[in-house]
Amino acid sequence: MNLTGVKTILFSEEAIQKRVRELGRQISDDYRDKHPILISVLKGTMYFVADLTRQMDIPVNIDFMSIGVYPGISRKTGIVRINKDLDINITGRHVLMIEDIINTGLTMGYLVQNMEARKPASIKVCTLLNNPFKRLMNIPLAYVGFQVPDIYLVGYGIDYNQEYRHLPYIAEFDEDEYKNEQA
Amino acid sequence: MAIITISRLDGSLGYEIAEQLSQKLNMRLILRDTVISDWMAEAANGYQLHMLAESPKFYLTNISDGVSFKDYIEARLIEEAEKVPSVIVGMGGQIIFANHPNAIRIRIIASDHIRKERLKSKYGFGEAEAEKLILQSDKKHKKYIQTLYGIDWSDTKNFDMVLNTDNLSVNQCVDMITVLAASKDSLTASPGFEEAGRSAFAYDRKNIMFKHPAEEEFATILDMYGIEWEYEPRTFPVQWDAEGNVKMAISPDFYLAKFDTYIEITTMDQKYVTTKNKKVKRLRELYPDININIVYKKDFHSLLKRFGFSGEDEIDEFNRSENNSVQ
């Protein structure tokens, strides 16, 4: 398997699964009798949400969202739009947003605002990885898998150019090495 | 972010309803004329503007890179409507915003008889002229929607509410639309609906004089994500002299009220950021409840690159001229 650019493994498959089990238990305890909706942001969260929910022993609904940045026409930057919206009505429900990694917080900020407008009973955020070094805004994180350094990571759903999502571990990624190989 | 689309027949009072609605709810009114004269003028030459006024099929013409005039208008409408609460008249708004969680789609109709009477009264038309006008107008609207979207303009399935103004006044229609908007949680919960004036001010960059091009670019990024911001809303004194006069203060560039966070942008080279770092450090010591983040040059350029802006050279040039003027 060509793993150009994939460097040091930060979190092994075992370490990830152990932490996911802990999070699953913690979330189950906190949301007992609340029947939460876990909203997973595609695509990076696919393995995380699958493993996390299977560690939960409470009733839970799962839904998916996808957002995209669309290039503007007369502007230099684009707009953020929802590609795939929720199927489930979250009004009055306890919502837990699931994210793979939070860097600047812009995406989660957009999502939290969007969800709040739909008047859920509560809304909290669970992220597998938290990079506080790039954070632009204060977003309370109720559940964090791991805090990470300010480096590019791939694996366990996180990609570089749609590659490497399938790796069972999370590793540092050398973008320059990858680009040089591609050139 | 609140969006109300109005589809109307000529003589149905649709324009009057849209206008009153926008005033009552403090929402921007976007008309086809606005789009053609202001927005399209950026993308089309004189001939193309003429053709757009005459031929719906011309909207499918490619402008550049596979983007047609239709695509341009749609993207621009979405972009603008998501920045400022808007009432959008015509232009296929009921299709463009069909799945938008913060939009409601209204159709205003009236009987042909009533429409003709109104047009006769308004323009001094005779019976035949009024008849001709509504036939031509309906045909034109129908052709536009059919050509661009392949659907029946009058299909009521594309609307959340249809109002017949034969026996309803403009005020009554505006009240009913307002009630519908109020009952649609996602619409009223939007800051744009409840505090339309505040949001409109916050997003109205024409009134803001950014001191640095980087700040304007950063505001653009925040707008892209629909993150409300205020520009330099507060000054924090961080050092005083022996007499209690303020010696040093900092006015962080942005405040994101929703996230209770101040953001200070710095695009200077590392050797010039010492003073700024010192100020922010003092702010954190003196005001521990204040959340403030600094965005340094490297991270700022990384953000710009991520969102497709290539203005790094302009910003660096601006910084160089600032440094030279200080020295």
DSSP state string for B181-223: HHHSHHHHTSHHHHTHHHHHHHH-GGG---SSHHHHHHHHHHH
pTM, to two decimals: 0.59
Which tokens go with A122? 């509560």
Residue of B78, B189, B260 with shortest CB distance to A79? B78
* pLDDT score of B126: 86
The percentage of chain B sitting over the pLDDT mark of 70, rounded to a whole number, equals 84
Q: For chains A and B, what is the number of CB pairs under 8 angstroms?
A: 101
Q: What are phi and psi of B126, to 5 degrees?
A: -85, 180
Distance from CA of A88 to the nearest CA of B (A): 13
For residue B41, what is the nearest residue in chain A, using CA coordinates? A74
Cα–Cα distance between A37 and B40 in angstroms, integer?
43
Say if B288 is an interface residue toward chain A (CB within 8 Å): no
Cα–Cα distance between B187 and A3 in angstroms, integer?
47
Cα–Cα distance between B36 and B43 in angstroms, integer?
10
pLDDT at B310 over 70: no
Distance from CA of B294 to the nearest CA of A (A): 8
Residue of A77, A82, A110 with shortest CB distance to B309? A77
CB A160 within 8 A of CB A167: no
Coil, strand, or helix at residue B287? coil
Asked if A77's CB is within 8 angstroms of B227's CB, the reply is: no
pLDDT at A131 over 90: yes
Cα–Cα distance between B63 and A73 in angstroms, integer?
10
Q: Which of B10, B6, B9, B33 is nearest to B20 (CA)?
A: B6
Residues 148-177 of B with CB under 8 A from A: none
**Chain B CB contacts of A68 below 8 Å:** none
CB B54 within 8 A of CB B110: no
**pLDDT confidence of A143, banded at 50, 70, 90?**
very high
Residue type, position A160, single letter: Y
Asked if A137's CB is within 8 angstroms of B263's CB, the reply is: yes
Which tokens go with B196? 């339309």
User: Which residues, at least 6 apart from A116, have a Cβ–Cβ distance to it below 8 Å?
Assistant: A123, B189
**pLDDT confidence of B312, banded at 50, 70, 90?**
low
Cα–Cα distance between B95 and B18 in angstroms, integer?
18
Residue A35 has a CB neighbour count (10 Å cut-off) of 12
B-interface mutation test, from A66, A136, A161, A179, most B Cβ less than 10 A away: A136
* pLDDT score of B270: 66
The percentage of chain A sitting over the pLDDT mark of 90, rounded to a whole number, equals 68
The percentage of chain B sitting over the pLDDT mark of 90, rounded to a whole number, equals 26
Q: Write a three-state SS string for chain A.
A: CCCCCEEEEEECHHHHHHHHHHHHHHHHHHCCCCCCEEEEECCCCHHHHHHHHCCCCCCCEEEEEEEEEECCCCCCCCEEEEEECCCCCCCCCEEEEEEEEECCCHHHHHHHHHHHCCCCCEEEEEEEEECHHHCCCCCCCCEEEEECCCCCEEECCECECCECCCCCCEEEECHHHHHHHHC
pLDDT at A177 over 80: yes
DSSP B247: E
Pick the most confident of A19-23, B23-27, B73-77, B242-246.
Answer: A19-23
CB B303 within 8 A of CB B295: yes
What number is the average pLDDT over the span B150-179?
91
Say if B301 is an interface residue toward chain A (CB within 8 Å): no
CB A97 within 8 A of CB A115: yes
Coil, strand, or helix at residue B246? strand
The tens digit of pLDDT for each residue in A45-74 reads 999 999 999 999 999 999 999 887 765 544
**Chain B CB contacts of A134 below 8 Å:** 299
* pLDDT score of B136: 87
Residue of A73, A80, A118 with shortest CB distance to B225? A80
What number is the average pLDDT over the span A126-136?
93
**pLDDT confidence of B271, banded at 50, 70, 90?**
low
Say if B290 is an interface residue toward chain A (CB within 8 Å): no
A-interface mutation test, from B259, B295, B298, most A Cβ less than 10 A away: B259
For residue A106, what is the nearest residue in chain B, using CA coordinates? B225
Asked if A79's CB is within 8 angstroms of B82's CB, the reply is: yes
A-interface mutation test, from B42, B224, B315, most A Cβ less than 10 A away: B224
User: Which residues, at least 6 apart from A137, have a Cβ–Cβ distance to it below 8 Å?
Assistant: A104, A105, A106, A109, B227, B256, B259, B261, B263, B293
Among A36-40, B234-238, B249-253, B323-327, the range scoring the smallest mean pLDDT is B323-327
Q: Which residues pair with A84 in a beta bridge?
A: A66
What number is the average pLDDT over the span B76-81?
87
**Chain B CB contacts of A78 below 8 Å:** 224, 307-308
Burial class (CB in 10 A: 0-12, 13-18, 19+), B36: middle
Asked if A116's CB is within 8 angstroms of B185's CB, the reply is: no
Q: Which of B7, B27, B14 is nearest to B168 (CA)?
A: B14
Sheet strands (E) in B103-147: 103-109
DSSP B66: T
Residue of B72, B99, B222 with shortest CB distance to A73? B72
Cα–Cα distance between A163 and A50 in angstroms, integer?
19
Say if B227 is an interface residue toward chain A (CB within 8 Å): yes
* pLDDT score of A23: 98
Burial class (CB in 10 A: 0-12, 13-18, 19+), B34: middle
Distance from CA of A145 to the nearest CA of B (A): 22
Q: Report ipTM (2 d.p.).
A: 0.85
* pLDDT score of A149: 94
Asked if B186's CB is within 8 angstroms of A77's CB, the reply is: no
Asked if A71's CB is within 8 angstroms of B308's CB, the reply is: yes
**Chain A CB contacts of B226 below 8 Å:** 80, 110, 113-114
Say if B186 is an interface residue toward chain A (CB within 8 Å): yes
Among A149-153, B75-79, B261-265, the range scoring the smallest mean pLDDT is B75-79
**pLDDT confidence of A77, banded at 50, 70, 90?**
low
Say if B190 is an interface residue toward chain A (CB within 8 Å): yes
User: What is the rounded radius of gyration, in angstroms, for the C-alpha atoms of chain B?
Assistant: 25
Rounded to the nearest integer, the mean pLDDT of chain A is 90
Which tokens go with B293? 């983040």
